[in-house]
Structure 1
Amino acid sequence: MLPPATLKRKSSLPIWVSIGWRVLAVVALLALAIGVHWIERDGLRDNADGHVSFLDIIYFTSISITTTGYGDIVPVSDAARMFDALIVTPIRVFVVLLFLGTAYNFVLKRTWERWRMAMIQRNLTGHIIIAGYGKTGSEAVDELVARGDRPDRFVVIDTDAEALTAAKSCGCIVMQADGTRDEVLNQARIGQAQSMIIAAGRDDTSILITLTARHLAPELPISVIVRNEDNELPARAAGATTVVNPVSFAGLLLASSCNGPHIADYLTDLASFHGQVQLTERAVTGDEVGRPLSAIQTGIGLRLYRGGVGHDRKAPEAAALEAGDMIVEIIS
């Protein structure tokens, strides 16, 4: 059975106001206890001088709430003892929890989070940054994990707490932040990242993240998804290495299915790790230099990229592979 859904909103109160409200709550409870003790002062006994003054009331209430209790002033009447048992004890517990919660939220938690971030950043290199963990971003992570990547290689940046909870449960490193900011991407060690996937859900946000990432990491491979065909050119102009339009790709699959019922299945099979065949990209190895693209032994060579320009397997450039060429091939 699913837990009931709850509405949540970030607090608009500054930190000092939040702390101030907690202090006022403690002072109000202390004043309540002092007032009742003063009214019922005849039920208290001062073993020092036998007289219970107002200062004695403040002193007794303070040591009672803080559980110190020196025994110099004690409740002797039934009313005073019942008040201490039924009212002062819950106040004591509430005040202790309030102070502990404040110390944890504003001191211990932040110190612990800064220390954990420093430890994670120390060993963060060769990782993949995922900006946006919606449907597309999560599927990209699942596919990469299926291909052998460890979940802790992914740094997921999103503003949605529920999405980050899902990413964290998968083993990813998460940051609840705005991926368009330089500070956030620097904290994610974008300069040491292997690649970046941007699927923010909005084309304008994705393009802005791309622009920020390219500014910070000029050589980083960046893949971005856009949903409007008009935004493909701005995404490339912003610095995206690869631009994917799911609407256009879906149209290509639909068009291919008109010429045969199995073409779309095969193309989907190529893109997924769970299929019988897989489309991969790799660099030419030393023993392949000088050989034609059609002679590679690892799979079926489809295309090579030399100097950023693609050449089909029947092109003259494919007759002899060179060091630095990139091969796109189909493997089993």
Structure 2
Amino acid sequence: MRQDEKTATRPAKTSVLRYLWYRSHREARDDAEAGRSIEMPTRSSLHPLQQVLRRLMLALGVLVLTTLIVYADHSGYNDNSDGTVTFLDSAYYATVTLSTTGYGDITPASDGARLVNIFVITPLRVVFLIILVGTTLEALTERTRQQVRVHRWRSRIRDHIVVVGYGTKGRHAVRTLIGQGVDKARIVVVDSQRKAVTAAGDDGLVSISGDATRSETLLKAEAQTASRVIVAPQRDDTAALITLTVRQLNRHATIVAAAREDENVPLLRQSGADTVVTSSSSAGRLLGVSMVSPVVARTLEDLMTLGAGLDLVERPVTQAEAGKNPRDCTELVMAVVRDRKVLDYSDDQVGTLRPGDRVVTVRHVVVETEE
């Protein structure tokens, strides 16, 4: 009976091992595919061409140093052609020695020259080869390192923010998020333009190149585990498709979409957007206010620009503020959020502030000037 039980468990163990092998193989394949479209933030400030040039300059420096060492003791070397070693012969000897070619036409003859070759030139040869071979190895291993970084990032990223579109709207949205204290590591940029993806990578953000209307692209951005998604493409129809795709992948994420025209706002809301910001009408209203009252327009611009002058901030009610009227707070309270309802500060339903309320206040930010 025990023998039958052991025999019966073998297929189950084999199936588990096959599943684990298939899963690891699939993850490796997905990481390799993602590594070609996901661009991680660059750690080095030098351009790859600058790195190669720097290595070549180091190799040239080792070659010049070896030449000077050989020429300083050129009398201890023997040239089979004419018996004397000139500066050109020293450079020639250093080149064939460091490159391990070694024709044998110039050889160290004295004991001092041989000791210098053992304790000085041989280590320099090793350094020279490391510099040159290191450049090749770095180029060969860059793809593997990229896949490792992508796999580590995909396994750790959770509750992050996905920004679709890194144009003017997307860049300013990212800057505002960073200004509000959001870590760059929690922001992922998706854009179909390679130039925009490169710009996001230069800004220290994880960026993905691809069509965000396709679920494969959003899955690479781990949109299914994101907490917030900002949809800011150039076209409203594209924004609607992206919003619909994001909502299918993630039912709980907060989606904020940008629309150019007011007539497309209902479509974006039906697609799953929680908040829709109309760029053209907002700009038009700001233009109209500017004509009537430029001071009011500058104040609105100041409120919308984070980190300078006046800022609109949403925060929880403090213990000291609980039980007070919004007008009695030290900061100017514009609205109160209670039970998911936004109430104007003058609304009779507000009464006094309660624990658990959130308030939208105007905060004065002191801009530090460089001396």
TM-score (norm 1): 0.62
Query: Structure 1 pair 285/213, CA: closer, same or farther in 2 (3 Å)?
Result: farther
* SS of the residue 1:291 aligns to: coil
- Aligned residue runs from structure 1 range 147-296, under 5 A: 147-296=180-329
Using the aligned pairs only, state the percent identity. Answer: 33
How far did residue 159 of structure 1 move?
A: 1.3
Of stretches 280-289 and 309-318 in structure 1, the one that deviates more from structure 2 is 280-289
Query: Structure 1 pair 322/236, CA: closer, same or farther in 2 (3 Å)?
Result: farther
Aligned to 1:331: 363
Aligned to 1:120: 153
How far did residue 206 of structure 1 move?
A: 0.8
* SS of the residue 2:204 aligns to: coil
Query: Structure 1 pair 138/309, CA: closer, same or farther in 2 (3 Å)?
Result: same
In 2: Cα distance, 1:320 partner to 1:214 partner: 37
In 1: Cα distance, 2:314 partner to 2:247 partner: 22
In 1: Cα distance, 2:299 partner to 2:260 partner: 24
In 1: Cα distance, 2:325 partner to 2:242 partner: 40
Amino acid at match of 1:300: L
How far did residue 151 of structure 1 move?
A: 2.6
- 8 Å Cα contact 2:323-2:354 kept in structure 1: yes
TM-score (norm 2): 0.56
Query: Structure 1 pair 214/291, CA: closer, same or farther in 2 (3 Å)?
Result: farther
* SS of the residue 1:277 aligns to: strand
- 8 Å Cα contact 1:151-1:170 kept in structure 2: no
1:311 lines up with 2:343 in the alignment = yes
Q: How many residues align?
A: 228
Query: Structure 1 pair 222/295, CA: closer, same or farther in 2 (3 Å)?
Result: farther
In 2: Cα distance, 1:178 partner to 1:109 partner: 25
How far did residue 253 of structure 1 move?
A: 1.2
* SS of the residue 2:315 aligns to: strand
- 8 Å Cα contact 2:261-2:279 kept in structure 1: no
- 1 or 2 for the larger relative contact order (CA 8 Å, sep ≥6)? 2
1:265-308 CA-to-partner distances (Å, cap 9, x unmatched) read 000000112420001222334554433322334x2111112333
In 1: Cα distance, 2:319 partner to 2:210 partner: 43
How far did residue 236 of structure 1 move?
A: 1.5
In 1: Cα distance, 2:260 partner to 2:208 partner: 25
Amino acid at match of 2:306: F
- 8 Å Cα contact 2:227-2:252 kept in structure 1: no
Amino acid at match of 1:135: T
Structure 1 unaligned residues grouped into runs of 5+: 1-99
Query: Structure 1 pair 187/285, CA: closer, same or farther in 2 (3 Å)?
Result: farther
How far did residue 120 of structure 1 move?
A: 0.7
How far did residue 191 of structure 1 move?
A: 4.0
In 1: Cα distance, 2:328 partner to 2:244 partner: 40
In 1: Cα distance, 2:358 partner to 2:216 partner: 34
